[in-house]
Structure 1
Amino acid sequence: MEESQSSQQHLLLDHRAEAEAENPSSNPKPPHKKLALLPLIFLIYFEVAGGPYSEEYAVGAAGPLFAILGFVVFPFLWSIPEALLTAELATTFPGNGGFVIWANEAFGPFWGSLMGFWKFFSGVINLASFPVLCIDYLKLVIPALSSGVPHFVAIFLSTSVLSFLNYSGLVIVGYTAVALGVISLLPFVLLSLFCLPKIDPSRWLSLGQEKKDWALYFNTIFWNLNFWDNASTLAGEVDQPHKTFPKALFSAGLLTCLAFLIPLLASTGAMPLDQQSWVGGYFADIAEIIAGKWLKYWMEIGAVLSIIGLFEAQLSSAAYQLLGMAELGFLPRIFGERSRFNTPWMAILVSAVIAIAVSFLTFTKIISTVNFLYSLGMLLEFASFLKLRRKFPALKRPYKVPLGFLGVVLMCLVPSVLLICVMVVATRTVYVASAFLTSVGIGLYFLMNLSKTKRWIEFSKVGDKLDEDDNAI
C-alpha cells in the first residue's frame, strides 16, 4: 500500500512536470528567480563547512598528524560517495524535500517521513551550534559574552536577525553566501602565506599527547565534512538542476577540502605544538602571533561572517525540506505557504524557534547529537539509493554515478561503516536524546495521518495539485 502510494506520487510529479514543460502558461503562479551555479556552490560550501574555523578541535583531540590525515583521507571515504549519491538523486528527483523524496520513493511514506524528521532535527540542532561558535570567537574581544544573561541574549538576537535575512529570499541568501565565503576565507589565505617561511614539516608528524579524545576527533571531522546532501532540499529552486548540481557539488568539494587542509598544514607546520591551546578560536591567536593583531581581528570578523553563511545555508535547507514535506503531504499545508519573497515563512519560523530552544547545549554536545541523528538518516539514505537503483533501473537519470550495482554497493559500504563508528563512540546522553527525537518523529507521522483522517488540519496533496494544473490546461 505504502509502496504503491509512493509510486503514484512519483508518476504524478513526472506528469505534472511534463505538462508544465509543454505548456508553461498553465502554471498560474508568476515565475520566481532560480539559484544559479555560483551561489549554489557557496551554499553547498556553507552547508558542509564554511571554512576551517572549527577544525582546531581535531588537533586538540588527537594531534597534528591525525588531524591532517583525517582531513586528507576522510573526503575520499565519506565526502565523495555522499556527493556522488546526491548528484544522482537530486538530478533524478529535482524537487524540494531532497532525501525525503528519495526515501519515500524507495521505501514508502513512513520511511520518507522518518527520514525527514531525522534530518530536520539534526539540521535545526546544527543551527544552534553556529551562534554558539560565533560567541566563542566574539568573547575573545568581548569577555562579557562568555556566560550568563549576555551570552543567551547574544544568541537569541543573532538567531532572530539571521532568520529574518533568510526570510528575505533564497537568491539573496545565495549571493550573500558568495560574498561571505570570499571575505571569510581571505584571512586564512594570508595566514598561510605568512606561515610559509616558518614551516617545519617535521611538526606535521607529531602525534601530540598520549591520551587521545577519539570521540571529539571523529565528531569534529565528521561534522566538518558532512551535509553534502542538504542542498538537495533546494533542488526545486535551482536553475536547470540536472546540469547545475553535479558542477556545484564538484566545485564546492574542491573548495571545502582546500579550505580545511591548507591552513591546517600552514599553522601546524609553523607553530610549536601546544595541544591544549587547540580549541575553538585558536586560529585567531595564531594569526596574531604570526602576523599581528590586524589579522587576528580580521579572522574573528571572518569567523562571524562564516557563521552567518553557515546559519543561512542550514536554515534554507531545513526550511525548504519542511516545504517539500508539506508538498508531499507529510506536514500541514501551512508549512508549504510562501511569503511575498517566495520563502516558506512558517518553516523558517519553526526552524529558528527550535534552534534557539536547544542553544543552551555546549558546542561538543550539539555536534555529537547532530552527528548521531544525521548518521541514522544517512544509513537510510544509502539504503534508498541502492533500492532506487533496483526499483527503477530504467528511470532517466540526468547524472548517474558511473558504477554498476555492485560498484555502488561497495561505494556505500565504507561510509556506512564510518557512520556506525560515529554512532558507537556517542555518549549515553546522545543515545537518549536521539531515541527521544526518533520517537517524536514516529509519533508525528501517526499524528499527521490521524489529522488527515479526521480532517483536523489542512494538508496538500500531490494529486490535487495535479488536477488543478490539468484543469488549467
Structure 2
Amino acid sequence: MKLRTTANTRQQACFAMREFTRGEEYVTIGEFPSSKTNHMKKVSVLPLVFLIFYEVSGGPFGVEDTVHAAGPLLSLLGFLLFPLIWSVPEALITAEMGTMFPENSGYVVWVSSALGPYWGFQQGWMKWLSGVIDNALYPVLFLDYLKSAVPAVGGGLPRVLATWGLTIILTYLNYRGLIIVGWVAVALGIFSLLPFVVMGFMSIPDIEPSRWLGANLHDVDWNLYLNTLFWNLNYWDSISTLVGEVENPKKTLPKALFYAVILVVLGYFFPLLIGTGAVPVKRELWTDGYFSEIALIIGGVWLRWWLQAAAAMSNMGMFVAEMSSDSFQLLGMAERGMLPEFFKIRSRHGTPLIGILFSASGVLLLSWLSFQEIVAAENFLYCLGMILEFNAFILLRIRYPNAPRPYKIPGGTVGAVLMCIPPTILIGVVLYFSTLKVLVISLIAVAIGLVMQPCLKYAEKKRWMKFSQNSELTDINDEGSQLVT
C-alpha cells in the first residue's frame, strides 16, 4: 500500500497521522473500518474511569502485604510517593501516546512506530503475558477472602474447581460486550469502596496516630514490599488497548486517566490509614484478606461480610477489565498483521472472541502459581515491556517533534527524558530484587516471544495462516505523517 499525497502534503501531514488505502476506503490512524463496530456504542468517561481503576487497582484488596513486609509507616509513604514516581508518569505517557495512536493495539503501535514491528511484537507478547498472569491473581484473591467464611475453598480440589468456575463465568461477562463491562465496573467500584467509607467513620474513636509511625528499616522484606507496591500501582497503559472502543478518545482518555489517578491513590491510602491506625499493628497478620479481620474488629460480623462481598466484587471487576484489555490487544495486533487474521473475529456483541478464549486459557494454565510468585513474575515481564515503552515515547519525541499529539505532556523533549528517569531507576530496583525462580520463568517467556515472531512471519510467507495486509506500521516521516506498507 502507498501513502496517498497531494501538492499540499507537507502541510496536511502536520495534521494527519496516517492515511492508507483499502480499496476505495480511506482510513486515518487507529480507525480500522469494521461493519460490526462502526455503529456500536462507544465507552464514555465514567465507565472508562472505572475500567482504568480496575486495570490498575480495584481497591485496597491485596495491599496488606506491604504492612507485613515493611510496617505501617513505609506502607503509607509508599502509597503516597510511589504514584508520583511511577503512576503519574505512566498515566501521562498513556494519555499522550493513546491519543496520538487511538487504536486497539495500544502500546504495541507505540513501540512499532519507534523501534519497528519486531520489537512491537515483543512488547505485545510481554504485556499480554503479563496481563494474563495478572488475571490469574484475581480468583486467588477472591478465594483468600472467602476462605474464612467457606474453609473448603482454602485448598485442594474445591479450590481448583472454584478457580475454574470463576474464570468461566467472568469470561462469559467479557464476551457479552465492553459497554456492559464498563458499567458493571462502575457498579462494582462503588460497591467495593463503600464498606471502607463506613469502616472509616466507625473507626474514628479508635484511631491512634502513633501506630502509623511504626517502622524498622532493619526488618524489611524489600522484595515483597516493592513487588506489592509495583503490582498495585501499575498497568495504567493497559487502557490504551481499548482506545479504539472509546468515545472521542482525544478528550475522553486524558480526562479519565486524571480522575482515575485520584481515585486509585485515595482508594489505597485511606483504608491503610484506617487499618493501621484503629487496630494494634501485628505485622505477621497482615496478609491477603486481613482487611476482613479488621472489619470484624471495628464493626462486627455484618461489616466483615460486607467487606468480603466487596472483595469478591472487586476481584470480579479487575478480572473483566484486565481480560478486556488483553483480548482487545490481540485483536489490535491482528489488525496490524502481527497475529493471524482469525484473532480479528468479533462476537455478535462486538467483543474479540478468539482473544477472550486465548486470555482465559492462559489464566487457567497459570492458576497453580502462588500469590507472591504471580506478582513477581508479572512485574518482571511488565518491567521489560515498560523499558521498551519509555524508549518508544522518548524516541518519537526526538525524531518527530511535529507529529500531531492531541494531548501533549509539557516540558519538551528534555522534560520527557527527565520524567522517565525515576521510573526507569525503579524498574532496575524491582528487577534486582527478583528471585532466581522468577528470573528463569520470565526469561523463558521472553525467549518464546523472540522466536515466535519470526516463526509467525515464516508461516505467513508459506501461507500456512492468513494475516491482515492492511496496517503494518513502518515509519513516520519528517512532517509527522506515518507511512505504512
What TM-score comes out, normalization by structure 2 length?
A: 0.91
**Separation in 2, partners of 1:359, 1:253:** 29
- 1:366 aligned residue: 374
Q: Distance in 2 between matches of 1:308 and 1:99?
A: 25
Q: Identify the residue that residue 439 of structure 2 maps to in structure 1.
A: 431
SS in 1 for 2:315: helix
User: Considering only aligned residues, what root-mean-square deviation do their CA atoms show, in Å?
Assistant: 2.0
> 1:116 and 1:291, CA in 2 relative to 1: closer, same or farther beyond 3 A?
same
Residues in 1 aligned to 2:357 and 2:22: alpha-carbon distance in whole angstroms: 32
The answer to whether 1:44 aligns with 2:46 is no
| 1:116–1:201 CA distance, 2 compared to 1 (3 A) | same
**Which runs of structure 2 are paired with 1:32-181 in the superposition (5 Å)?**
32-181=40-189
For the residues of structure 1 that align with 2:132 and 2:24, how far apart are their CA atoms? 31
Q: Residues 76 and 28 (structure 1 numbering): CA distance in 2 closer, same or farther, change over 3 Å? A: closer
Contact 1:63 1:209 in 2 (8 A): no
Shift of 1:390: 1.5
Instruction: Please tell me whether the aligned partners of residues 135 and 322 of structure 2 are also in contact (alpha carbons under 8 angstroms).
Output: yes
Q: String of CA shifts for 1:204-239, please: whole Å, max 9, x gaps.
A: 100159522110000001000000000000010000
TM-score of the pair, normalised by structure 1: 0.93
Contact 1:20 1:27 (8 Å CA) reproduced: no
Q: Are 2:242 and 1:229 equivalent residues in the alignment?
A: no
Equivalent residue number for residue 309 of structure 2:
301
Of Structure 1 and Structure 2, which has the larger fraction of its residues in helix?
A: 1
Q: Which residue of structure 1 aligns with residue 337 of structure 2?
A: 329
Cα distance in 2 for residues equivalent to 1:18 and 1:262: 52
Q: Displaced runs of 4+ in structure 1, greater than 6 A?
A: 14-18
CA apart distance, 1:336: 1.1
Q: Is 1:243 the counterpart of 2:226 in the alignment?
A: no
CA deviation after TM superposition for structure 1 residue 403, in Å = 1.2
Q: Residue 64 of structure 1 contacts residue 208 of structure 1 at CA under 8 Å; is this kept in 2?
A: no
Structure 1 residues 40 and 15 mapped into 2: Cα distance closer, same or farther (>3 Å)?
farther
Identical amino acids, percent of aligned pairs = 47
Deviations 1:48-96 (A, max 9, x none): 0000011110000100000001001000011000000000000000000
Change (3 A) 1:209 1:401: closer
| Alignment-mate amino acid for residue 441 of structure 1 | G
Would you say how many aligned residue pairs link Structure 1 and Structure 2? Answer: 454
Q: Give the corresponding residue for 2:349.
A: 341
Q: In 2, distance between residues paired with 1:112 and 1:17? A: 29
SS at match of 2:367: coil
Matches of 2:343 and 2:205 in 1, distance apart?
A: 55
Which deviations, in whole Å up to 9, do the C-alpha atoms of 1:7-43 show, x marking residues without a partner? 9xx734699999458xx9x975551110000000000
Q: Structure 1 residue 279 and structure 2 residue 287: aligned?
A: yes
1:11 paired residue number: 18
1:205 to 188, 208, 213: 213
- CA distance in 2 between counterparts of 1:384 and 1:14 reads 26
- The structure-2 alpha-carbon separation of the partners of 1:17 and 1:239, relative to structure 1 and needing over 3 Å to count, comes to farther
Q: In the alignment, which residue of structure 2 is the partner of 1:4?
A: none
Q: In the aligned structure 1, how far is the partner of 2:301 from the partner of 2:61?
A: 17
1:426 partner SS? coil
1:315·1:351 contact (CA, 8 Å) conserved in 2?
yes
Cα distance in 2 for residues equivalent to 1:17 and 1:393:
32
User: What does residue 468 of structure 1 align with?
Assistant: none
Aligned partners of 2:133, 2:453: CA distance in 1, in Å?
Answer: 20
**Residue 376 of structure 1: aligned partner:** 384
Name the residue aligned to 1:443: 451
Alpha-carbon shift at residue 303 of structure 1 (Å): 0.3
Alignment partners' CA distance in 2, 1:12 and 1:200: 62
Structure 2: distance between partners of 1:391 and 1:113: 21
Does structure 2 retain, via aligned residues, the 8 Å contact 1:288–1:295? Answer: yes
Structure 1 gap segments, 5+ residues each: 1-6, 465-473
SS in structure 1 of the partner of residue 236 of structure 2: coil
Aligned to 2:412, which of 385, 395, 404? Answer: 404
Letter aligned with residue 415 of structure 2: G
Instruction: State the AA in 2 paired with 1:11.
Output: R
AA aligned to 2:255 is K
- For residues 102-136 of structure 1, what are the alpha-carbon distances to aligned partners after superposition, in whole Å with 9 as ceiling and x for unaligned? 00011101110000001011000111011011110
In structure 2, the gaps of 5 or more residues are: 1-12, 473-485
Distance 1:205 1:155, change over 3 A: same
- Correspondence for 1:469: none
SS, match of residue 408 in structure 2: coil
Does the aligned pair in 2 maintain the 1:95–1:233 contact within 8 Å?
yes
Residue in 1 aligned with 2:298?
A: 290
Q: Which amino acid aligns with 2:67?
A: V
Asked if structure 2 preserves the Cα contact closer than 8 Å seen for 1:203 and 1:269, the reply is: yes
Contact kept, 8 Å, 1:57 with 1:278, in 2: the verdict is: yes
Distance apart, 1:192 and its partner CA: 1.2
Q: Deviations over 1:417-473 (max 9, x none)?
A: 001110110000111011110011111101110011101001112259xxxxxxxxx
The answer as to whether partners of 1:204 and 1:269 remain within 8 angstroms in 2 is: yes
